[in-house]
Structure 1
């Protein structure tokens, strides 16, 4: 344990890092400043571009332990984090007083130099975010509706939500995602990843609108062809001038029918592909909404496709022998041109 006149208390800057594991990934520690105070707290000042996710920088407390098996009572520096992990360094006595060597077995050696103490840069407002999901001091288990269990701290949740009977697990009816969001709000007084939630909401709304648009365009392709074929069949039945008076008109109408049917099928395929690629980003309720919508529109598409094919067959079967001969000659000439 540190005392007021302990030579280790103060600010130290890592001036050199020697890797003991061969990875060489510890060079990002160079330039880091470590402040050991009399209360047993350790604070870090990282250089620009430092690895903020390094486990070493999550340590917030320290202790100096003396190993009496050495003749000179060699000491160890133990750095501990709230999440429960600890990192132990063997300490070489600072001789001269402004030098210190920290050795962590199988990881690295840190050569440190004493520097004047300075205040760390302003950090985020105080919150209990680091306690979220931490096992240390967690004495409460909350169960979501799907059986997911989340650990919490009874002292924290009772202080922030005193009206709930936390030991009786009052939130067991909530889905896991909502339970996590509620705990996040209790611990931090902020919503979890609000920007990400908004982005996901906008993306999913755009996805649903794109799927609906593709389905409607598919229905529109078949609807326009079915209407034209129905009009041609009515003219044929009423004895007015029909498309058979000009084989080129019949050929153009058939090509239009086939092209629109192909476009409709392509759009339907695009809708299936779009849903398949983004299905994972939709929650269960959104997936059910999309599937229900597709199921309600698919019979309409198949019905319109049937109208197109029946109308095409009815139109061609109403032609007489001479008209069929003219149509066949027209088709042969167009195939030869292709």
Structure 2
């Protein structure tokens, strides 16, 4: 091929256009112009609106997982917060219920103590307050333990009463505590006086029949339901006039000479908390006078000493 026929123009790869600096300046000027024009005349607003309209469905679909995750997170946070508030509310309700019960119990104890103080003022016999600690473990007896013993001056046989009536009698005394046998115990007996008729009798403990049974009363005795039985004071133990029980049922049996009389104790034998321990009446009685023979022997002995 002849040399004159060769194309001596450089290939497109090596063609030299505008320089990079020129392109940068042109693009910068165009960008600046577009920014100023958009800021002043908003010439690109229709284009933006069109692009936003076209891209909105894509944007909506792309944001659904984000919204779902946000809703789920808000739901679980709200559920956890609601459960925490519920637990706190239940706790506060339980505390308020406990305080209400304690307040009610304290009010009841205060009322009982006031009645005991009033009863103590009416009784001239020396007495002291005590608190019931617990019931005896024997299921076949009706006994309670109080927090006063020998160190507090309690003696065996001391009557125990509450604001409503007689509860029982101290049957065993330890240094710090004492055992009280309630009037409803089957081995307990107490002389009583019918305040309506003035007749005397003896009430025995009978837990199966309601508390007490007035035994050995004649079938024709004047005893009616509702009669109040009080201490008679003839046993030298209980002060006279303290309520013991009320008659609730009188049965006259044709096959027996005695009536079956059931009584309900006036004292709170099943729920007493604060009680009063009274000195037995026998501790306040004057000493029994000496027999005539003893007096004569004492006179002779004194006369012999003088000689």
| TM-score in terms of structure 2 length | 0.23
Greater share of residues in strand: 2
Task: Compare CA radii of gyration and give the structure with the larger one.
Answer: 2
